[in-house]
Amino acid sequence: MTPVTTIRDLRELARRRIPRAVFDYGDRGSYEEITLRDNRADLDAIRLRSRVMIDVADRSTATNIVGVPAALPLAIAPMGLIGLFHGDGEIHGARAARDAGIPFCLSTMSICTIEDVSDAVGEPFWFQLYMMKDRGFCASLLERARLAGCSALVLTLDLQIQGQRHHDVKSGLTVPPRLTAKNAFDVATKPTWILSMLKAKRRSFGNLEGRIPDADNLTTLSQWIAGQFDPSLSWKDIEWVRARWPGKLILKGILDPRDAMTAATSGADAIIVSNHGGRQLDGAPSSIAALPEVVSAVAGQTEVMFDGGVMSGQDVLKACALGASSCLIGKAFLYALAANGYEGVRTAIEIIRKELDISMALTGVTNVKDVNRTILAPAGNR
């Protein structure tokens, strides 16, 4: 078997091991996928400055993320339907993150419930909230997260209205997965995935049980989202959340410096520069292109995290050089989980950690907290 040395290797394994509809859900973006492609292309275009004859024998990738020690500037981003990529996927992801010393964030749209993950992991994790019109339900989710000991709340700001993801509409993905004439052969060739689904604790939206009538496919889910997700969401709602959440608050989905300045004065402990993985406004800037202006706008008033196309330790290094305190992985995590469950996720984290460590050394840096723009080569240097 060919050794797994990159996230790209894990992506290829995932593509072969899970049904195409599930793979496409995690792999693709909205509309023409311009922003999805730019996330990758713009990170690739950044060049690093090679330095020599600097003592880099003693290096550290350790940092703090919203005041909590982490083994490296990395967290697992909140994503829906993780449990369809591997049975009990949220639990596997949370355990792998715990064992690697980094944060894990559970999505509102998870398969496993808040309580499932809390009982299985035994240590604090983050919870992500989508604001819905039913504020009573939102309040109940916040209370459940508090009782589960979640250490931070990630409030997603950029899904007031869902961007259309053409591949999801066409794929026929169902929740829970269902065998049809269209997908029978594809599913039948994925025995490991089938077994993980059969053994899984849940196969539907655990946190939303009883809330979505007849939510058996993504079309129904999209319709429910359209009816429940709140297009009237505004900055005043941050106060509503703050009044009900006693822990750390992180705001996800910032791209514009004006929004960043407002977020920085809203009481948030951190903001995440993110374009939802290229799954919302197609044609929006890549996250890495937006990052420097956001960092400049907040001027140190709050912690700035980065999300958008991270596939390697060098991507983490580049984002840190442009002012991010840490990064989140989404697609990279899903590929790893689908490829090999818990062990796949540990492999992905180690790939990123090792490349970050080596790239730090080759740019003359010994502590990730000291990374800044000086490690970047001038634009156009090749």
Query: What are the tens digits of pLDDT across the range 113-161?
Result: 999 999 999 999 999 999 888 899 899 999 999 999 999 999 999 987 7
| Dist. CA 39–CA 308, nearest whole Å | 6
The torsion angles phi and psi of 7, rounded to 5 degrees, stand at: -65, -30
Q: Compute the residue count for the chain.
A: 382
Mean pLDDT of 302-328: 98
pLDDT band at 233 (very low <50, low <70, confident <90, very high): confident
Confidence of residue 226 (pLDDT cuts 50, 70, 90): low
- Name the pLDDT band for 267 (thresholds 50, 70, 90): confident
Give 329's DSSP letter: E
**Whole-number pLDDT of residue 264:** 94
The pLDDT assigned to 216 comes to: 54
Report in angstroms the alpha-carbon separations of 274 from 173, 226, 290. Answer: 25, 21, 9
Residue 230 has a pLDDT of 81
Start-end of H helices in 229-371: 236-244, 257-264, 287-298, 313-321, 331-362
How far is the C-alpha of 324 from the C-alpha of 83, rounded, in Å? 29
Is 366 in contact with 60 (CB distance < 8 Å)?
yes
Q: Which of 86, 92, 167, 276 is catalytic?
A: 276
**Active-site residue 92, yes or no?**
no
Q: What is the pLDDT of residue 215?
A: 53
With a cut of 80, say whether residue 189 has pLDDT above it: yes
In this structure, the number of other CB atoms found within 10 A of the CB of residue 180 comes to 11
CATH domain 7-375 topology: TIM Barrel (3.20.20)
Give the pLDDT confidence score for residue 70 in this predicted structure. Answer: 98
pLDDT of residue 160: 77
pLDDT tens per residue across span 337-372: 999 999 999 999 999 999 999 999 999 999 999 999
